[in-house]
């Protein structure tokens, strides 16, 4: 048994929130949020991937909420293995998105430089914001009717309405968030690592455990707070200056305009610095 639908990201757009919201209502990979199969672990084979759904009931939809959006070969691989799969994609203000990706890079010690320096050294910060370019790849293979594109602002402003849209799209009963303890910033990073060497070693251990499917161990360490201890506790990440925001808005403006044209959206809120943006509620309503 394999997924009926996938959340494809990109990362830092509420994928963990969606995974937690769907738990108990659909069958998800056992022991881990995302397998990475259609990205970096495709060589492990379809049997390895299928093992993650070995406990699926057969009565509920099966899903994986991952971050395959920008992976070079992911669309073709998904089409090959899951030809009738439905897809969910969330888009986030490019400036906020890039800064969130940068914080992840700092916490995992993939970079030690400032955000501005990272922008010149890490092509991934630009690549992950090429929304129109990557959406076209998925649209071409699966058809627009099989790809639900959402706006992260909607999740922030109205999580219940956001989840209702997703449930309707994938064909499951609506899930009530009443009384649910779900946060859209569950995996956000507020601080850099206090000890860079400790964080770097912890990353090596974490990824080794994941590569060897030692999910019980990684989850136990997470519950004990080991990863939070290793990847945080340092200096807080500062807010972006309005001057830098304006530079970044200009940097990604062509892609924002292309996304507007592709989707028919009004993304005016992405074209001004945070201090001059409309509230998330107004953005989502638009």
Global confidence as pTM: 0.92
Strand partners of residue 26: 23
List, edge to edge, every strand of the sheet that includes 5-9.
Answer: 63-65, 5-9, 86-91, 147-151
Q: How many residues does the chain have?
A: 286
164: helix, strand or coil:
helix
CB-CB contact of 243 with 275 (8 Å): no
| Residue boundaries of the structural domains of the chain | 5-190+237-285
pLDDT tens-place values along the chain, 286 residues long: 999 999 999 999 999 999 999 999 999 999 999 999 999 999 999 999 999 999 999 899 999 999 999 999 999 999 999 999 999 999 999 999 999 999 999 999 999 999 999 999 999 999 999 999 999 999 999 999 999 999 999 999 999 999 999 999 999 999 999 866 565 555 678 999 999 999 999 999 999 999 999 999 999 999 999 999 999 999 999 999 999 999 999 999 999 999 999 999 999 999 999 887 765 555 555 5
State the CATH architecture for 5-190+237-285. Answer: 3-Layer(aba) Sandwich (3.40)
Which pLDDT score is estimated for 183?
A: 59
Residue closest to 101 by CA, chosen among 132, 69, 75: 69
Q: Is 117 exposed, middle or buried (0-12, 13-18, 19+ CB in 10 A)?
A: exposed
């Amino acid at each position: 048994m394999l997924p009926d639908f996938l959340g494809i990201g990109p990362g830092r757009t509420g994928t963990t929130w969606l995974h937690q919201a769907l738990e108990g209502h659909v069958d998800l990979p056992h022991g881990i949020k995302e397998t990475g199969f259609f990205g970096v672990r495709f060589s492990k084979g379809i049997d390895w991937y299928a093992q993650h759904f070995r406990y699926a009931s057969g009565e509920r939809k099966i899903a994986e909420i991952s971050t395959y959006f920008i992976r070079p070969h992911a669309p073709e691989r998904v089409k090959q293995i899951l030809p009738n799969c439905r897809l969910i994609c969330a888009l986030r203000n490019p400036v906020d998105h890039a800064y969130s990706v940068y914080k992840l890079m700092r916490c995992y010690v993939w970079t030690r430089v400032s955000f501005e320096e990272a922008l010149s050294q890490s092509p991934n910060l630009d690549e992950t914001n090429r929304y129109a370019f990557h959406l076209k790849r998925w649209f071409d293979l699966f058809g627009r009717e099989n790809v639900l594109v959402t706006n992260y602002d909607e999740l922030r402003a109205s999580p219940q309405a956001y989840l209702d849209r997703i449930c309707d799209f994938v064909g499951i009963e609506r899930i009530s968030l009443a009384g649910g303890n779900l946060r859209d910033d569950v995996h956000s990073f507020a601080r850099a690592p206090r000890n860079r060497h400790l964080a770097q070693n912890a990353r090596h251990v974490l990824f080794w455990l994941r590569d060897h499917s030692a999910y019980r161990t990684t989850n136990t360490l997470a519950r004990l707070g080991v990863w939070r201890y290793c990847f945080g506790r340092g200096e807080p990440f500062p807010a972006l200056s309005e001057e830098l925001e304006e530079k970044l808005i200009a940097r990604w403006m062509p892609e924002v305009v292309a996304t507007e044209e592709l989707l028919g959206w009004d993304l005016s809120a992405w074209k001004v610095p945070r201090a001059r943006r409309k509230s998330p509620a107004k953005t989502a309503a638009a």
